[in-house]
Amino acid sequence: MTNAGNAPAARRRPGRRASAAAWPRPRRPWLPPGLTYRVQGLLVPNRFYHWLARRLEAFPAAYWLFTAGEKTAKSAIFGCRMCGQCALPVTGYACPQTCPKQLRNGPCGGVGMDGSCEVYPDVRCVWVAAYERAERHGRTADLRLLQRPLDHRRWGRSSWVNYWQGRDGELWTANDGLAAAPEISRPVPSVPAASLAAGEP
Ligand code: SF4
């Protein structure tokens, strides 16, 4: 999904400087994908995590301390920007929010022939990195799932707490929808010949 307010820096009017925070820069995680998939297995919701999440939300100071720790770790590894609705498990652990256009469903049309980002040509498109990382572990099918729009009220919140509280169930579709019959194949209702002769629509 594109954040309409965040146009690429390259297209801004001359004379206006973008703050560094306004334009995300693609980040390739430095942890190997195999390790990130294994760590994900350790974070799967269970009764303890659910209990922990509830306790954290009951005590704001503990919640914000926990969230600060999550932010420190994930921003160092993935360039996490704390959208609060983590897509990493289905993006090869490359954070889509580091895309300058914040696209959640794959790359834009401006990726360079060498896989470079259109906005920051000196770095690799984060979606190219996502594909390369997912491919190494046979997870490219993940990238065909449709990411639903972000709930922007959750920015800055802990995505782990949201995950353990069961709020991430609808972040992406269950399948890529390719098995669904295309609309065009539905039967077209027949029009009575008398109506056609009378010129009725
Ligand atoms: S919580 Fe959002 S910003 Fe942070 S790594 Fe996950 S997708 Fe990226």
Task: Give residue 13's pLDDT.
Answer: 44
| Residue in this structure with the two tokens 């782990």, named with its chain if needed | 160
What is the mean predicted confidence (pLDDT) over 10-26? Answer: 59
pLDDT value for 195: 65
Determine, yes or no, domain membership for 71: yes
Tell me the β-bridge partners of 124: 116
Residue length of the chain: 201
| 75 CA to centre of ligand 1 in angstroms | 9
* Residue 80, phi then psi, degrees to nearest 5: -50, 140
Instruction: Give domain status of residue 8, yes or no.
Output: no
Position 5 scores a pLDDT of 38
* Percent of the chain at pLDDT exceeding 70: 80
Which phi and psi (to 5°) does residue 133 adopt?
-70, -40
**In total, how many domains does the chain have?**
1
pLDDT tens digit sequence for 164-182: 999 988 899 988 888 776 6
Asked if the structure places residue 188 within a domain, the reply is: no
Nearest CA to ligand 1 atom 1: 86
Instruction: Quick: pLDDT tens for 42-56.
Output: 999 999 999 999 999
> Are the C-beta atoms of 57 and 161 separated by less than 8 Å?
yes
Q: What is the mean pLDDT of the chain?
A: 86
**Residue 172, in any domain of the structure:** yes
Is any ligand 1 atom within 6 A of the Cβ of residue 95? yes
Determine the pLDDT at residue 151: 93
Per-residue pLDDT, averaged over 185-189, amounts to: 65
* Structural domain harbouring 84: 19-176
* Ligand 1 lined by 131 (C-beta under 6 Å): no
Asked if the structure places residue 182 within a domain, the reply is: no
For residue 65 the two structure tokens come to 């301390």
Ligand 1 within 6 A of CB of 150: no
Percent of the chain with pLDDT over 90: 72
Q: What is the pTM of this model?
A: 0.79
In a domain, 77, yes or no: yes
pLDDT tens sequence across 89-146: 999 999 999 999 999 999 999 999 999 999 999 999 999 999 999 999 999 999 999 9
**Residue 12 domain-assigned?**
no
Distance between CA atoms of residues 101 and 120, nearest Å:
11
Residue 103 near ligand 1, beta carbon < 6 Å: no
CB 151 within 8 A of CB 1: no
Rounded to the nearest angstrom, the distance between the alpha carbon of 78 and the centre of ligand 1 is: 8
Q: Ligand 1, closest atom to CA 87?
A: 7
pLDDT score for 48: 97
Q: What is the pLDDT of residue 87?
A: 96
Q: Distance between CA atoms of 88 and 72, rounded to whole angstroms? A: 16
In angstroms, what is the span from residue 157 Cα to ligand 1's centroid? 11
**7 domain residue, yes or no:** no
Q: With a 6 A CB cut-off, is 147 part of the ligand 1 pocket? A: no
